[in-house]
C-alpha cells in the first residue's frame, strides 16, 4: 500500500466511504537466506547392532520476512506498506529468523537380541541435541507517533497501530536442550509366519524439564531517546518476561506408549 496505489470509493447500504487500494505483487523486498551443512554417518560394529548419526549446522537462516507461521502458510508483512512512516530498522529488520538453530544433532542406535524359539528383542535409543531457537525484542499494537500520523495523512486508510523492533530480528536466544528416547520391542513366532509383538516407547526418558521458550513481551520506554519517526528506541520488559506461559514452554514430560499386534 503506497500513495501511488490510490483509493476507491465504496457505497453499500446507503453508506459511502473511501478506502486505500492494496496491491499484492511480486517483490524483491522480502528476503530469506539459508545455508547449512548436513552430515550423516552409519556404523555397524555387529550384524545386530547399528549406530546412526546426523548433524545439521545452520550457517545462515536470516531475512526480513518470516513468510509463514503455525497453520498459516502465507503471512503478509509491513514491507512496502506506508513507506513514508514504516522503515526497515524499526518495522522489518534483517536478522535471524525464528527457525534459526545453529546445531541439531541426532544419534540413534538399535540392537537386536535373538532368543531362539522364544523370539527376539530389539532395543533402540534415540538422542537429540538442539541449539536454542531465537526471538526478537519487539512490541506490538503500538500507536503511531505524531510524526508518523503526519506522514500518512494523505492515505484514505491509515494504520491504527504497528509492531516496532528494538534491535535486529532474532537478536535473542532461548535455551538449547537434549532429550533421550528409548524403545523396546518383543516378538515371538507362534505358528508358521504368525508373530505376535509388543512395543514399549519411552519419550524423554530422563524427564528433562528444561524451560526452552518463555514470555518475550516488551513495551516501548517513553523515557528513552526517540528516532527520526518519533518512536522510542528503548524498551521495558513486561512483568512476565522470561517466565513460562504454559506447558508448551517446557519439554514434554516423560511419556510412555505401548502398542501390540500380530504379524503374518
DSSP string, 19-41: EE-------S---EEEEEEEEEE
Selected residue with higher pLDDT from 58 and 192: 58
> In the predicted model, is pLDDT for residue 126 greater than 90?
yes
Q: Is 159 helix (H, G, I), strand (E, B) or coil?
A: coil
Q: Which grid cell is 108?
A: 540413534
Q: Given a cut of 80, is residue 236 above it in pLDDT?
A: yes
Residue 162 and residue 91 in contact, taking contact as beta carbons nearer than 8 Å: yes
Predicted confidence band of residue 234 (pLDDT cuts 50, 70, 90)? very high
- pLDDT surpassing 80 at residue 192: no
Strand partners, 38: 56
Q: Total domain count for the chain? A: 1
- Model pLDDT for residues 144-171, shown as the tens digit of each residue: 999 999 999 999 888 999 999 999 999 9
Predicted model pTM: 0.84
**Are the CB atoms for 135 and 169 separated by under 8 Å?**
no
Cβ neighbours for 100, distance < 8 A, ≥ 6 positions apart: 58, 61, 62, 133, 134, 170
Contact 240, 249 (CB under 8 A): no
For residues 185 and 122, is the Cβ–Cβ distance under 8 A?
yes
* Owning domain of residue 155: 3-263
Amino acid at each position: 500500500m503506497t500513495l501511488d496505489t490510490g483509493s476507491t470509493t465504496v457505497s453499500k447500504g446507503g453508506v459511502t466511504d473511501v478506502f486505500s487500494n492494496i496491491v499484492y505483487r511480486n517483490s524483491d523486498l522480502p528476503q530469506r537466506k539459508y545455508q547449512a551443512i548436513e552430515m550423516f554417518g552409519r556404523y555397524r560394529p555387529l550384524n545386530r547392532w547399528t549406530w546412526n548419526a546426523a548433524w545439521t549446522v545452520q550457517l545462515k537462516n536470516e531475512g526480513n520476512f518470516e513468510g509463514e507461521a503455525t497453520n498459516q502458510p502465507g503471512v503478509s508483512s509491513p514491507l512496502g506498506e506506508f513507506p513514508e512512516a514504516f522503515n526497515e530498522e524499526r518495522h522489518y529488520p534483517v536478522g535471524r529468523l525464528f527457525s534459526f538453530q545453529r546445531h541439531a544433532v541426532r544419534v540413534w542406535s538399535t540392537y537386536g537380541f535373538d532368543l531362539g524359539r522364544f523370539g527376539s528383542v530389539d532395543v533402540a535409543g534415540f538422542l537429540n541435541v538442539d541449539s536454542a531457537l531465537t526471538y526478537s525484542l519487539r512490541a506490538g499494537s503500538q500507536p503511531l507517533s505524531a510524526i508518523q500520523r503526519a506522514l500518512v495523512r494523505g492515505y484514505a486508510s491509515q494504520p491504527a497501530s504497528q509492531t516496532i523492533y528494538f534491535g535486529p530480528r532474532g537478536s535473542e536466544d532461548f535455551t538449547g536442550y537434549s532429550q533421550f528416547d528409548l524403545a523396546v520391542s518383543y516378538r515371538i513366532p507362534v505358528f508358521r509366519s504368525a508373530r505376535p509383538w509388543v512395543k514399549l516407547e519411552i519419550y524423554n526418558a530422563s524427564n528433562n524439564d528444561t524451560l526452552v521458550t518463555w514470555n518475550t513481551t516488551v513495551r516501548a520506554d517513553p523515557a528513552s531517546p526517540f528516532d527520526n519517526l518519533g518512536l522510542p528506541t528503548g524498551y521495558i520488559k513486561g512483568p512476565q518476561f522470561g517466565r513460562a506461559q504454559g506447558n508448551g514452554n517446557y519439554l514434554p514430560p516423560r511419556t510412555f506408549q505401548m502398542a501390540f499386534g500380530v504379524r503374518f
